Structure 1
Amino acid sequence: MLDRFERGLVAANRWLLILLLLAMAVIIFTNVVLRYTTGDSIIWAEEVARHMMIWVAFLGAGLALRFGGHVAIDNLHRAVSTRAARAMRSVVVLGLSAFFIFMTYASSDYVWRTRFQSTAATDIPISFIYAAMPVGFLLMLVHLLLIARSYILEGEFERSEEIDGEAAGSL
């Protein structure tokens, strides 16, 4: 059951990112073509693309965490005994979990405080754009909890044919 949930979550997360990136690319491409062919541009294109980029960053952070794509210094836990390494990785997981929980709460409060503001060009509520923060931090927490056991015991992240976490982290 948990394995099915995990596969579904990862697939939904990936497809949402793909669709957002595709829509963003189409909007920007269309805007550039219109600007150079007609001299006019889409008024809302830059604003919507920026907001989509915010959502992509926060939704993609959980997948990057899951596959080891975030910057990390792992020399120390590789240099000590297995028991000490597991203890260090446990502290890392607990620290990250506490940070993600705090940031989910703090960013939810921020979303609540901006609920009456709206964007200039599209009149979209600012809270909708800022909602990417609590959603992203909650997703990072879920992804972390799903890989925590293998990370703590073996120091390994999830493996994927499509995503190379080490290559992504070294960019």
Structure 2
Amino acid sequence: MRYFLRLEDFTTGVAQRLSIAFLVIAASLALYQVITRFAFGAPSTWSEVITRTAMIWSVFLGVAVAFKHGAMISVEVIQTSLPPRIGLGLYLLANVGSLIFFTVLLWQGYLMTLRVMPQSLAALDISIAWAYAALPVGSGFILISVAAAMVRAAQGDWLIARNAEDT
């Protein structure tokens, strides 16, 4: 399990760096779009499409980081009001639901990416599959992160964090 948790630290670090990079790209191109549209009266045709795609990638990669740090919406109020074992069970059950959801999203995202390969992004001559690929790639990172959160919880990290909040 130690090696799996190290792998998750590495993959989540990669996801975080890529998410930040895509967010910087999106913000920069959105600013460029605003300047060209309102300052010069000549909006670019390509920056909006790349901004949208970069935001999609940023979100799907950032979710893995959010799961690692416990920043996802959860039923924490209910979990902490229950006895520790039941709260842990609820936490693990919620994560099993996340594993199922993101496994389905990975598979369906992969199929969708294959299906849209012949199509091009508006105003660009590249495949729209680059945008759709965020679903399976991001889901892969998320699955690793959720599984690692479950391992950490089973090893007692969830209980330590819970007890720290109670004091």
TM (normalized to structure 1)? 0.80
Q: In 1, distance between residues paired with 2:150 and 2:40?
A: 53
SS of the residue corresponding to residue 122 of structure 2 reads coil
**Residues 4-83 of structure 1 correspond to what in structure 2 (within 5 A)?**
4-83=6-85
State the one-letter code of the partner of 1:79.
Answer: S
Superposed displacement of residue 123, structure 1 = 2.4
Q: How much identity, in percent, do the aligned residues show?
A: 25
Letter in 1 for 2:116: T
SS at match of 1:155: helix
**How many Å separate the matches in 2 of 1:47 and 1:87?**
43
* Misfit runs of 4+, over 6 Å: none
Q: Give the corresponding residue for 1:116.
A: 118
CA distance in 1, matches of 2:21, 2:78: 39
Deviates more, 1:135-144 or 1:95-104: 95-104
Contact 1:104 1:134 in 2 (8 A): yes
- The unaligned stretches of length 5 or more in structure 1 are 159-171
Aligned counterpart, 1:85: 87
Whether the 8 Å CA contact 2:105–2:136 is kept in 1: the answer is: yes
TM-score using structure 2 length? 0.82
Q: Cα distance, 1:5 vs. partner?
A: 3.1
1:41 aligns to what SS in structure 2?
coil
| Other-structure match for 1:155 | 158
Corresponding position: 1:128 with 2:91: no
2:97 to 84, 95, 98: 95
> 1:144 deviation in Å?
0.9
Q: In structure 2, the residue corresponding to 1:40 is in which secondary structure?
A: coil
Match of residue 165 from structure 2: none
Question: How far off its partner does 1:20 sit?
Answer: 1.4
Q: How well do the aligned residues superpose, as a CA RMSD in angstroms?
A: 2.2
Residues 68 and 157, structure 1, Cα contact 8 Å, conserved in 2: no
